Amino acid sequence: MKRIAVLTSGGDAPGMNAAIRAVVRTGLDMGWQVFGVQNGYAGLGDDNMVELNARDVAGIIQRGGTMLGSARCAAFRTEEGRKLALSNLIKHDIEGLVVIGGNGSQTGAYEISKLGFPVVGIASTIDNDLFGSEITIGVDTALNIALEAIDRLKVTASSHHRAFLVEVMGRDCGYLALVAGITGGAEAIAIPEIETNPEELAAELRHAYERGKAHALIVVAEGARYNAEALTNYFKAHSERLGFELRATQLGHVQRGGAPGAFDRLLATRLGAAATQQLALGNTGVLVGLQKSVITKTPLDVVVSSKKPLDTSLFELARILAK
């Protein structure tokens, strides 16, 4: 019998629970024992893990967040912290570890695998900035939450003929803003990957009114040079000349806390099962992700050393469709 452990790390993402459930139940199906590590890598250092049976993961597939807790763990970034984590895994005769998380979490997974421990990563972050998976767990739900907010803001914006700005998360990546902007019918989008000129944004908004629109909406990424704060300040400073005000809404962590939709539940379930299967096959030091609708595995060293490209042709499409 094999004993494996699973943890969730970094920013939580809707669907993490579905992935935990899949790891536990496919592990049990193989006749293994599965342990849940509490609070990400911090729990490995604190030796905080509990055995999970099928009933322990009942009723969680529909819940956002992570039943195991998550953390951003500074101690694990040190060699000493990683060695302590490894010694705790070995102490409990754990033979394989599944790490559910994004870039920072998979860097941690790579570090453990370099110490010779079998690890498989599962691609999970709302930012969709992880190499090795075209879409990661949580992205679809986060986008739908952003869209609900955008749709509502457009209603009130139209009533008052106002200009609104919505800032979405994504860290240094513009994916959430780009896709929320396109699918929300924004008049303009600002993302880190493309240089933004606030005067051009103002012109886009003005042209929207001139074309007869009742409102104007900009979706900005938190990582864009002109994010909510910078753009609001700019518009305030030049309000007389620009001729209109901009009201800003920062969605922030609201995007992370939703209940996972069908897409994320299925993706997380497939990736959870795949991760356990990879451990069984001895294919470790890899990340499981989704590419061209197929579950794939990518070596963790490639994952952590590669930057996922953003399809910036969508930006041009957004500009055309904003007409």
Q: Under the rule (CB under 6 A), what is the footprint of ligand F6P?
A: 11, 72, 102, 125-127, 169-171, 222, 256
Nearest approach, Cβ of residue 11 and ligand F6P (Å):
3
Nearest approach, Cβ of residue 126 and ligand F6P (Å):
5
CA of residue 15 relative to chain centroid, distance:
10
Residue whose CB is less far from ligand F6P, 137 or 218:
137
> CA triplet 63, 126, 45: central angle to 5 degrees?
75
**259 secondary structure, DSSP code:** P
Residue whose CB is less far from ligand F6P, 170 or 285:
170
Helix (H, G, I), strand (E, B) or coil at 291: strand
**16 secondary structure, DSSP code:** H
Q: Give a three-class secondary structure readout of 160-223.
A: HCCEEEEEECCCCCCHHHHHHHHHCCCCEEECCCCCCCHHHHHHHHHHHHHCCCCCEEEEEECC
Annotated catalytic residue within 127, 129, 140, 264: 127
Nearest approach, Cβ of residue 280 and ligand F6P (Å):
30
Residue whose CB is less far from ligand F6P, 169 or 246:
169
Q: Is 127 a catalytic residue?
A: yes
Q: At what angle do helices 228-237 and 198-210 cross, to 10 degrees?
A: 70
Nearest approach, Cβ of residue 40 and ligand F6P (Å):
12
Residue whose CB is less far from ligand F6P, 73 or 165:
73
Distance, in Å, from the CA atom of 99 to the CA atom of 249, rounded to the nearest integer, reads: 33
Nearest approach, Cβ of residue 229 and ligand F6P (Å):
14
CA of residue 158 relative to chain centroid, distance:
31
- If one counts every other C-beta atom within 10 angstroms of the C-beta of residue 83, the result is 12
Residue whose CB is less far from ligand F6P, 162 or 171:
171
For the annotated catalytic residues, the residue numbers are 127
